[in-house]
Amino acid sequence: KKINLALCGLGIYANIVAESMQGSEYCNLAGIVTGTPSKAIKWKEKYNIPDKNIYNYENFDEIIKNKDIDMVYVILPNSMHKDFVIRSAKAGKHVITEKPMAIDVKECEEMIKACNDNKVQLALGYRLHYEPTHLEIKRLGQEKVFGQVRYIESLGYKTYDTIAKKPVDINSPANWRLNKKLSGGGPLMDLGIYCIQVSRYILGEEPISVTAQFGTINDKNRFSETEESISWQMVFPSGAMANGNTSCGYNIDRTYASADYGSFELSPGLSYGPYEGKTSKGPLKFPPIKQQQKQLDEISKVLLANKKLPDHITGEEGLKDIKIINAIYKAAETGKKIIL
Ligand code: NAD
């Protein structure tokens, strides 16, 4: 048996997920949830989706009666994750939600509670947790292959044109990332979350304090509500420091870790790959994989075996990242060190 999945929200990333999961051994694209009738027609034809498995945002709750859907994958703007995760949970469906989990801590807590109350599992769309290059830098750091990691630099970006075409109208749905109500914030929410994640999984530790600074706003049209770039510094219990920077204004994609007896790095390190890297002992490279298919297969295998999802991809993990993001924003706004 495969897990039958319904994709909720059919934007750019949902298309990537749908393509990647074709041929999956454990997960089947069985349904869709969309607010756009023309997309429903296209997807129905392309992926052979039966009418009974096609929902819109209004009739979505009827999915409770549909035994042919086991799990919903929410790939909507950040502020919509909470509503659809809770509605999926109430319908008795396991649910994956895209990163960032939600726009604040309270929303994350409500989502976790709803999934617990309805005895369904909640996963985060953290695809890099299944990617071999990232698993390797996690191992190099956590197993202290080059000794204790002392310093991490993690940088990630998204270019202007991928997030908003000119002329810029931040109220246009296409530009939801620039609209604070829908996004919860700028590149920190979107890409910086990967930089936070990578620092946490290289070290296997949680930060104890953060300081942060907003960068210059060079494009006031686009960045009237959200930051254009932001830098932050995290201190970990071992004494390790992690510097992060994320931007929509310049291209940066690098993860570097310096340890007592060596170093390792990836550049690019956070985009869709393939990732290029090296350690102080030689090259660091793995064949590219279908990241989204691997992620869905691994989640589905756990669910098919009636087991518990591993902690590092659950709602609790998503909540940890949102707490850190909140602290980074607070540090940048106040100019103060925030203790976590
Ligand atoms: P997108 O703009 O391409 O798609 C958003 C979808 O939501 C569209 O289908 C749109 O029609 C729908 N929608 C419904 N109500 C909307 C509203 N009020 N405003 C705007 N859109 C609305 O965005 P995307 O890039 O697919 O991102 C969706 C989610 O996926 C986000 O949470 C994002 O952070 C996440 N994402 C994750 C990855 C990853 O690698 N894990 C990559 C890209 C995006």
pLDDT band at 163 (very low <50, low <70, confident <90, very high): low
The CATH number of whichever domain residue 41 belongs to comes to 3.40.50.720
Structural domain includes residue 215:
yes
99 is catalytic: yes
Whether the bond into 268 is cis, omega within 30 of 0: yes
Residues with CB under 6 A from ligand 1: 9-14, 35-36, 75-78, 98-99, 125, 127, 173, 176, 182, 190
Identify which of 70-74, 163-167, 251-255 has the greatest average pLDDT. Answer: 70-74
**If you take atom 44 of ligand 1, which residue's CA is the nearest one?**
13
pLDDT value of position 162: 62
pLDDT value of position 250: 87
Cα-to-centroid distance, 16 and ligand 1 (Å): 11
42 is catalytic: no
Q: Which of 72, 73, 85, 98 to mutate to test the pocket of ligand 1 (most atoms within 8 A of CB)?
A: 98
Instruction: Compute the mean pLDDT over every residue in the chain, rounded to the nearest whole number.
Output: 96
pLDDT value of position 166: 67
Atom of ligand 1 nearest to the CA of 189: 34
**If you take atom 5 of ligand 1, which residue's CA is the nearest one?**
11
Angle of helix 193-203 relative to helix 132-142, nearest 10 degrees, comes to 50
Q: Would you say residue 15 has pLDDT above 80?
A: yes
Q: Would you say residue 262 has pLDDT above 90?
A: yes
Structural domain includes residue 254:
yes
Same domain membership, residue 149 and residue 102? no
Same domain membership, residue 25 and residue 118? yes
Q: Would you say residue 160 has pLDDT above 90?
A: no
Place of tokens 């750091």: 141
DSSP structure string for 256-271:
EEEETTEEEEESS-SS
Structural domain range at position 70: 3-127+294-309
**If you take atom 42 of ligand 1, which residue's CA is the nearest one?**
13
**If you take atom 6 of ligand 1, which residue's CA is the nearest one?**
11
Same domain membership, residue 267 and residue 191? yes
Task: Write the pLDDT tens digit of every residue in 271-302.
Answer: 888 999 999 999 999 999 999 999 999 999 99
Task: Write the pLDDT tens digit of every residue in 303-329.
Answer: 999 999 999 999 999 999 999 999 999
Q: What CA–CA distance (Å, rounded) separates 140 from 126?
A: 20
Same domain membership, residue 107 and residue 148? no
Cα-to-centroid distance, 156 and ligand 1 (Å): 19
Exposure b/e, 49-87, CB count within 10 A at least 16 = b = beeebbbebeebeebeebeebbbbbbbbbbbbbbbbbbb
| SS3 state at 229 | strand
Q: Which of 75, 159, 177 to mutate to test the pocket of ligand 1 (most atoms within 8 A of CB)?
A: 75
Q: Would you say residue 103 has pLDDT above 80?
A: yes
Same domain membership, residue 122 and residue 139? no
Q: Which residue out of 26, 73, 157, 194 is catalytically annotated?
A: 194
Structural domain includes residue 20:
yes
Least confident of 70-79, 86-95, 163-172: 163-172
pLDDT value of position 165: 63
Q: What is the mean pLDDT of residues 38-61?
A: 98
pLDDT value of position 174: 84
Same domain membership, residue 284 and residue 154? yes
pLDDT value of position 210: 98
**pLDDT more than 70, % of the chain:** 98
Same domain membership, residue 229 and residue 182? yes
Task: Write the pLDDT tens digit of every residue in 192-247.
Answer: 999 999 999 999 999 999 999 999 998 888 899 999 999 999 999 999 999 999 99
Structural domain includes residue 314:
no
Count of domains in the chain?
2
Same domain membership, residue 42 and residue 166? no
Atom of ligand 1 nearest to the CA of 57: 14
Same domain membership, residue 260 and residue 226? yes
Cα-to-centroid distance, 145 and ligand 1 (Å): 38
Nearest to 72 by CA among 110, 22, 21, 123: 123
Q: Would you say residue 167 has pLDDT above 90?
A: no
The count of C-alpha atoms lying within 13 angstroms of the C-alpha of 273, restricted to the half-sphere facing its C-beta, is: 18
Q: What CA–CA distance (Å, rounded) separates 294 from 324?
A: 27
The CATH number of whichever domain residue 180 belongs to comes to 3.30.360.10
Same domain membership, residue 113 and residue 44? yes
Cα-to-centroid distance, 165 and ligand 1 (Å): 16
Same domain membership, residue 171 and residue 83? no
Task: Write the pLDDT tens digit of every residue in 109-139.
Answer: 999 999 999 999 999 999 999 999 999 999 9
Q: Would you say residue 159 has pLDDT above 80?
A: no
Cα-to-centroid distance, 283 and ligand 1 (Å): 35
Q: What CA–CA distance (Å, rounded) separates 267 from 187?
A: 19
Same domain membership, residue 333 and residue 300? no
Least confident of 18-22, 168-172, 188-192: 168-172
Q: Would you say residue 161 has pLDDT above 80?
A: no
